[in-house]
Each structure stands twice: as C-alpha cells, then as structure tokens.
Amino acid sequence: MTDRSTSRDDELRRRLCLVEDEIAAACVAAGRSREELTLVAITKTYPASDVASLAALGVTDVGENRHPEARDKREELEDVLPGGAHMPRLHFVGGLQTNKAGQVARYADVVQSVDRLKLARSLSRGAEAAEREIEVLVQVDFGGEDAGRAGAEPAEVPALADTIAELPGLRLRGVMTVAPLGADPASSFEHLARIGERLRQDHPAADIVSAGMSGDFATAIAHGATHLRIGRSILGERPPLQ
C-alpha cells in the first residue's frame, strides 16, 4: 500500500469517526439508539478505492447517483475490496431517467429516488429480467426554492406506494426526501416521518425514512429518520464534475 493510499485511509477513518461521534450525540439528544440508524456513505464522484476503504472500516451501505458511474464502480469494487470486508449495499439516490432504470435495476440493491409510476415499472421490468429483487423508496418533494426538481408530491405518495408494492421485482421499503433549499429542514423531515407512519399502516415492511445529509442529519435524527445519506462530511469536498 502506498503512502498516499495510507494517508487517504487515515483521513477517511478520522472523518468517519467524527461523523459517528456527531450521530451518537444527536441520538442522545433525541432519546434514540444508534442502532436505529443506518449510515449510507454517499460516494458519488469518489473512486472505488475510497468505497473499499470505507467497507474495511465497517461501512455497510454506500450511495451513488449517476449511471453508468455507479455500475462501473460496483464492478471495479469487486477487484479492490480488501479481504474480510463485505460488499456494501448500493443505494441509488439520484434522479433516474426511465430509459436507464432497467440497467440500474441490475446492480443497485436499493433505489431511493422513485417518484413516478413509469419509473417504477421500468425498474420492475429490469429487476425481473435480472431475476433479482430491489428495494424501493418513494422520494417526496416538499417544495422550496428547488420545487419540482425531483420527488412525488405528498398527496401522490399513497397511490404510488400501493402500485410499487404490487410490481414484481420491487420491494417497497419506505420514503425519502431531500430538504428543500431555502427552508427549515425540520418541517420537511417531520412531514416525511408522518407520511412514513401512515404508509406503514398499509405496508408494515415500508419502515425506512431516509432523510438528512451532511448539513442537517442531526435534525433528521430528531425527527425520526432511519437512514442518513452523508457524503461530504466523510469523504471531503467533491472534485468538480468533468
């Protein structure tokens, strides 16, 4: 292992420890157990070697938002994952075009960004063709300065979720949101938790509430999130897109 890779491993370990300390403190403040939460490290734009290092540090879930980058990184990870480390579960968290959904369904374990029926059906066909089952979250849009960017409106969630639950190859697991720009995230996270609670009345296995990123995950923990999507705080500032 080179000095450079050793240095990067040390940086990732340090950053991950700091984030875990912050999560633990937020859990204490919210009266919750750390075991209630899953950390999804958002590794988009970073190399497979970083994913491998995080897996060796015990990270079990990672998130990507672009195809084919996510697919290619997944394939490369099979060669660079250190001995003893488990392949992390891959969450696709970005906006997804319908014509790419079938390909994503062949490698993603979870798709968190389903916001329309056409997309769900494309994922279902892709999962069936690959003879696998993928977990799906309904992404909810609460407006704000970036309203309409992605996500189903709250009133659309029950019908969309009901249809997803019936589609072959898909397993409905819950809801997700990105806090709107220019708004207090607490309101959106609280609303998402209520939507998730209502959803579980009809779909008990849909118990995931994915909310909170590097800048607002403590607020998400306070309002019932089960999955945190944290990238920058663990991996550092992202390089500019090429």
Q: What is the pLDDT of residues 59-112, one digit of tens each?
A: 999 999 999 999 999 999 999 998 889 999 999 999 999 999 999 999 999 999
Q: Which of 32-36, 142-146, 238-242 has the highest mean pLDDT?
A: 32-36
pLDDT tens figures, 176-204: 999 998 889 999 999 999 999 999 999 99
Q: In which band, very low, low, confident or very high, does the pLDDT at 240 lie, cut at 50, 70 and 90?
A: low
- Per-position b or e across 49-88, b if 16+ CB within 10 A of its CB: bbbbbbbbbebebbbbbbbeebbebbeebeebbeeebeeb
d(CA 176, CA 135): 13
d(CA 48, CA 77): 6
Domains of the chain: 3-235 (3.20.20.10)
d(CA 169, CA 98): 16
pLDDT score of 182: 85
pLDDT tens figures, 138-147: 999 998 766 5
Alpha carbons within 13 A on the beta-carbon side of 235: 25
pLDDT tens figures, 203-239: 999 999 999 999 999 999 999 999 999 999 999 998 6
d(CA 121, CA 28): 41
Strands 110-114 and 227-230: unpaired
Q: Are the C-beta atoms of 241 and 45 separated by less than 8 Å?
A: yes
pLDDT score of 211: 98
User: Full-prediction pTM beyond 0.75?
Assistant: yes
